[in-house]
Structure 1
Amino acid sequence: MSMPGRPGTGHRHQTDGPDHRAPSDCPVCGEHLVVTRLGCESCGTELAGIFAPCEFCALSAAELDMLRVFLAARGNLREVEKHLGVSYPTARARFTEVLQKMGLAESDEPKPAAGPPGQGPSREQILAEVASGALTPAEAASLLAG
């Protein structure tokens, strides 16, 4: 019986994807792993060396889904918000996490400093956004505490 994906026994369709995702960090020391071997499932040819990493391979399935939704929405975070069923700040935070993981954004996004009244959203504005669904209760609690 031939097994799909084994050398010389047939081809695996590109859309099927791998059975397992390759780890991006070493399980022993935690350092980043590099790709050093590539192989052809059809003929068994192997190439060895140090290859450029795939910046998308380290993303989780949820992060890849977020990126697909963002691209399909042509970069419109309001559309991402609607598709994922989350508030705008949550959609923005998730997208920022993806950018950070890919090394495209700083890990510490500056937060607005607490200043005199009128510079940030008021308690009433925050509660109104929770009531409208624009903010989650956890996000509101964070804003009110900060």
Structure 2
Amino acid sequence: MYKAPVICPVCNKKMHIEVLRCSNCNSKLEGNFELNEFATLSDENIQFLRLYLLNRGNLSKVSEILNLSYPTVLNKFNKLLSDLGYKDEASKDESIEENNKKRKIIEDLEKGLIEPKEAIKKLKSLKGEK
């Protein structure tokens, strides 16, 4: 059996299913059926999700198996959540915390507590740059 396409090759919009057929008795049901969020996942996301589930949600174990760093695996997990349409609350909290740190650095700069070079250095370190 072929995997159903979920994106229209003509207009790149989401497709739907109109006919369902039983492989046992050949009964057919016609209508307009929506695909669930899991049906729209890429093969890469499906493989990652299977591995994640088989390892009971342990991203460290997934990281070991894939021989990838934990941050890389966490990024894959966050992409999976995003592709499923779920909001990642942890990322949102991290973003708020990072914004607060940036705000503090800028306030310190404005108050003259740190030099511009030091502020740039601190802001770059927040982004993971050197």
Change (3 A) 1:67 1:119: farther
CA RMSD of aligned residues (A): 3.0
CA distance in 1, matches of 2:65, 2:21: 38
Q: More helix per residue: 1 or 2?
A: 2
What residue is the counterpart of 1:144 in the other structure?
129
Does the alignment pair 1:61 with 2:46? Answer: no
Q: State the match for 1:45 in structure 2.
A: 27
Gaps of 5+ in 1: 1-17, 123-141
Measure, in 1, the Cα distance between the counterparts of 2:122 and 2:64: 28
**Which shows bigger deviation, 45-54 or 30-39?**
45-54
Whose relative contact order is higher, 1 or 2, with alpha carbons under 8 Å and at least 6 apart?
1
The two structures have a TM-score, normalised by structure 2, of: 0.66
Matched residue, 2:68: 86
- Compute the displacement of 1:105 (Å): 2.3
User: For residues 85 and 41 of structure 2, what CA distance do their matches in structure 1 show?
Assistant: 12
Which SS does the other structure have where 2:11 is aligned?
coil
Deviations 1:87-121 (A, max 9, x none): 11110110111111111126xx5553574479789
1:1-146 residue pairs with structure 2 within 5 A? 18=1, 20-105=2-87, 111=95, 112-113=98-99, 115=102, 116=105, 143-144=128-129
Identity over the aligned pairs, expressed in percent?
31
Q: Give the CA deviation at 1:43.
A: 3.0
Query: Higher mean Cα deviation, 50-59 or 95-104?
Result: 50-59
